[in-house]
Amino acid sequence: MSNTTTAPSASQGVMKDLSFLDRWLPAWIVAAMVAGLLLGRFVPGLDTALEAVRIGEVSLPIAIGLLVMMYPVLAKVRYDETHRVAGDKRLMGASLVLNWIVGPALMFALAWIFLPDLPEYRTGLIIVGLARCIAMVLIWNDLACGDREAAAVLVAVNSVFQVLAFGALGWFYLQVLPAWLGLPTTSAEFSVWSIVASVLVFLGIPLVAGFLTRTLGEKARGREWYEGTFLPKLGPWALYGLLFTIVLLFALQGDAITSSPWDVVRIAWPLLVYFFLMFGIGLLASKALGLNYAKSTTVAFTAAGNNFELAIAVAIGTFGVTSGQALAGVVGPLIEVPVLVALVYVSLWAGRKLFPGDATVPTR
């Protein structure tokens, strides 16, 4: 797979040098999920060991995996070109509306439609809907040959909005709106520290590292060497970090997931509907606004993805590690990871159908 518009980096980076890994990525992800579930189920004390050291409410090994995953992607961003994205009112407007109005409202509706009799799981799903993606979306966007600079800017914007708006939106969707509709309300006080820590750790650290790597690398050896020689060597670590994170995440929650298979199925249905609807709405709305394939794909993935690290941390910190809300947060990545991998292929197929003649559509 290659993108004809992101200069040599897209054709000489991850997509070129990891063709074998990319081709079998769904199989590797399924294998990582299964391995994690089996480890969590059959290795006594593994969850305790993984949780021994934490950053906020997130296991340190998982945090390391996420940082390894995000750093190579952010090192590929051309930061000197991000100003063109920040000035694109269509892209910024579409992303803000989808992420902070449509997404939370849709998840609220789906949670009540599918789980009217399960208030803990319903609340957990609503929290997932409020946690907009700032991490794995960079991987999916890169695999689908979306606009890297646009993804970096939108992720940064989402991180700011999370700090400012998460608590207010939680209050609105758990107390105010249900009361208006005559539905039961849920009392919850979210930890501002959990939100700030999630943003600083999972976006701040790899963003600074990626920016410094590109700035110093180009200054020392030039852009041609940086994108043609250095990035192909660094690129594979993004997917290695992804697989490592998936194994640990599912190992940590393996017992909870395998002990409640029917509950997992109940939680999975609204999540499946949510991910496909948000991606489709994002892609079609962006095309209607006149955005090209690369930017439309970026808007679609940033709208569909969720920050499961934050959702799980908030659910555990607010309701407890054994709560139904926490289980709903854990099921989020169980469904999101394979679905968004599938949507990478959907995006590549749809790009050729919806954007004929668009130079940003991958040629293979």
Position 49 confidence tier, pLDDT thresholds 50, 70, 90 = confident
Domain with 278 in it: 12-354
The CATH number covering residue 78 comes to 1.20.1530.20
| Total domains in the fold of the chain | 1
- Interatomic CA distance for residues 224 and 229, integer angstroms: 8
Whether 360 is in a domain gets the answer: no
pLDDT score of 1: 40
pLDDT score of 12: 40
pLDDT score of 93: 92
Cβ count within 10 A of residue 82: 16
The mean of the pLDDT values for the chain is: 82
Position 9 confidence tier, pLDDT thresholds 50, 70, 90 = very low
SS (H, E, C) the chain: CCCCCCHHHHHHCHHHHCHHHHHCHHHHHHHHHHHHHHHHHHCCCHHHHHCCCEECCEEHHHHHHHHHHHHHHHHCCCHHHHHHHHCCHHHHHHHHHHHHHHHHHHHHHHHHHHCCCCHHHHHHHHHHHHCECCCCHHHHHHHCCCCHHHHHHHHHHHHHHHHHHHHHHHHHHHHHHHHHCCCCCCCCCCCHHHHHHHHHHHHHHHHHHHHHHHHHHHHHHCHHHHHHHHHHHHCHHHHHHHHHHHHHHHHHHHHHHHHCHHHHHHHHHHHHHHHHHHHHHHHHHHHHCCCCHHHHHHHHHHHHCECHHHHHHHHHHHHCCCCHHHHHHHHHHHHHHHHHHHHHHHHHHHHHHHCCCCCCCCCC
- Check whether 22 has a pLDDT greater than 70: no
pLDDT score of 14: 36
Whether 359 is in a domain gets the answer: no
pLDDT tens digit string along 70-124?
788 778 878 777 677 767 889 999 999 999 999 999 999 999 999 999 999 999 9
pLDDT tens digit string along 159-191?
778 878 888 888 899 989 999 999 998 876 666
Beta-bridge mates of residue 132: 306
- Check whether 192 has a pLDDT greater than 90: no
pLDDT score of 237: 85
Whether 252 is in a domain gets the answer: yes
| 291 vs 318, higher pLDDT | 291
The pLDDT of 210-238, averaged and rounded, is 88
Whether 242 is in a domain gets the answer: yes
Whether 131 is in a domain gets the answer: yes
Whether 2 is in a domain gets the answer: no
pLDDT score of 206: 84
88, HSE (Cβ side, Cα atoms, 13 Å): 25
Whether 363 is in a domain gets the answer: no
pLDDT score of 62: 76
Whether 163 is in a domain gets the answer: yes
The pLDDT of 318-340, averaged and rounded, is 79
Position 362 confidence tier, pLDDT thresholds 50, 70, 90 = confident
- Check whether 16 has a pLDDT greater than 70: no
- Check whether 238 has a pLDDT greater than 70: yes
